[in-house]
Amino acid sequence: MKKIIMFVSAMAICFLTDTPSFAKQFVTIGTGGVTGVYYPTGGAISRMVNNKSSEYNIKATVESTGGSVYNINAVLSGDLDFGVAQSDRQYQAMMGEAEWADAGPQKDLRSVFSIHPESITLVASVKSGIKTPYDLKGKIVNIGNPGSGQIQNSLDVLSAFGMTIDDIKAEQVKAVEAPGLLQDEKIDAFFYTVGHPNSNIKEATAGRIKVDIIPIKGEGVDKLLDKYSYYATSIIPGNAYPTKATEGDVESIGVKATLVTSKKVKDDIVYAITKEVFDNFEEFKTLHPAYEILTKESMLKGLSAPIHKGSLKYYKEAGLVKYINPKLLK
């Protein structure tokens, strides 16, 4: 009896003080390895919405994960509410390609917005003699862990230079481990599709042995750009990694990081996240140097999955729908 009275009075206090303790909604954003850009990106997005925690009753938290493919699958299964994923991976999931070839098109996947550009980054020790992707033949190369975005990009680059996975000694460890393995001379090179600057490539290029970033360009790469509309040319800024072996910017190709969710995630949650990032856009842009070049328009390009209804509600209110591919507005 005493317990019941205590419970009833606790409920009464909550209602009287308008404490939203019963209704708080916890949402999780899947990211990538802690030395990449997805992890701080999840932090930046969650910070924007958590600043208004009392208004929305939402508490967002961030999880370090295996990357894009893991995040898309976890969002679809309901294990995560949001995930950061490469634009090419978002496209493949929508079309039922690559890792989704057996499962088919992932119709419940939804776009929230695009974020920073990511470059396919090929990092090699000088000692390995790798100067172009052709030189990867026979070398020990980390192509990315299963579940990462970069694993398919690595295979695409190999194919652009007339190779397959069988032409290299492929490792499939997480990006976070690659700089250490390179510096310990356990691998010759690694691929990482990532925004710049990031602490992973800093770690790789600032160690005991000399390390360089290898350009990804040429005829085979031009063909890749023609074949896949999600790839675009990119520049890795040399000043982000002043201790790499060769000075200057590095040419490559890349994609975009995007935020995805599932059709099943509630509209009010997706609305709140979208609104807080866009309404506080200037503040958001200060949260990572990779966001410097972002515009509201650029954050609505490069998406393949339909826009989530919660985001769409905000884009309509804010007059941003004009920037969105009409095909995504169903």
- In sequence order, the 6+-apart residues with CB closer than 8 A to the CB of 58 are 24, 25, 26, 27, 49, 50, 269, 272, 273
CB neighbourhood size of 33 (10 A): 24
Among 46, 73, 86, 304, binds ligand GLU (CB under 6 A): 86
Site for ligand GLU in 16-35 (CB under 6 A): 32-33
Kindly tell me which of 149 and 220 has the beta carbon lying closer to ligand GLU: 149
302 binds ligand GLU (CB under 6 A): no
Tell me the window of 46-54, 147-155, 161-169, 293-301 that interacts with ligand GLU (CB under 6 A). Answer: 147-155
Residues comprising the chain, all counted: 330
Among 30, 42, 43, 67, binds ligand GLU (CB under 6 A): 67
What are residue 220's phi and psi, to 5 degrees? -60, -35
Query: Comparing C-alpha atoms, which of 303, 295, 230 is closest to residue 261?
Result: 303
The DSSP string of 224-246 is: HHHH-TT-EEEEE-GGG-TTSSS
The DSSP string of 174-194 is: -GGGHHHHHHTTS-SEEEEEE
Tell me the window of 55-63, 193-201, 267-275, 310-318 that interacts with ligand GLU (CB under 6 A). Answer: 193-201
194 binds ligand GLU (CB under 6 A): yes
193 binds ligand GLU (CB under 6 A): yes
Kindly tell me which of 193 and 252 has the beta carbon lying closer to ligand GLU: 193
- In sequence order, the 6+-apart residues with CB closer than 8 A to the CB of 79 are none
Kindly tell me which of 47 and 256 has the beta carbon lying closer to ligand GLU: 256
Rounded to whole angstroms, the Cα distance separating 281 from 187 reads: 40
Residue nearest to ligand GLU (CB): 67
Tell me whether strands 250-262 and 232-236 are parallel, antiparallel or unpaired.
antiparallel
Among 27, 37, 168, 312, binds ligand GLU (CB under 6 A): 37
Kindly tell me which of 149 and 302 has the beta carbon lying closer to ligand GLU: 149
Site for ligand GLU in 236-295 (CB under 6 A): none
Binding residues for ligand GLU, rule: CB under 6 A, are 32-33, 36-38, 67-68, 86, 118, 148-150, 193-195
